[in-house]
Amino acid sequence: MIAIAQRVSFASVSVAGVSVGAIEQGLLVLACAEPRDTEAIADKLVHKLLKLRIFADEQGKMNRSVVDVRGGLLIVSQFTLAADVSGGNRPSFTGAAGPELGRALYERLLATARALHPIVASGKFGADMQINLVNDGPVTIPITLRD
């Protein structure tokens, strides 16, 4: 599973001009399932996100997690994270899971996150989405998890 976690002071996602999810301080997470991913990997990603220490403590050091700062998670599916441009200028997306597996693992990410954290918002799987964010720092962390 591939993810990009961005520390934000605000983030929202809209579909056709209608907001479908928003958070204040927290993490905007762009997530892409790969063909060999499992529910266990999706669960592992949620645990990693909740423990990721990228928020500042009193000394300005990145020692706090999204849980510690009572921040939100905005999780958005983004199959383009699996893009391969090694063969030319038009990206290939064969590294992304197919729609059925991608949807199932995205829904698992959301279910696990909602079971473990009180503030979870989401995009809409497969939709053309627009994301607005204020990246705090900026802090952007790539995460790749595999079996």
Report the catalytic residues.
78-80
d(CA 17, CA 39): 32
Q: Which of 111, 121, 142 is nearest to 31 (CA)?
A: 142
Long-range (24+ apart) CB contacts under 8 A made by 90-98 are: 95/34, 95/35, 96/32, 96/33, 96/34, 96/35, 97/32, 97/33, 97/34, 97/35, 97/37, 98/35
d(CA 113, CA 26): 13
Cβ-contact 122, 74 below 8 angstroms: yes
Residue with tokens 């997530």: 31
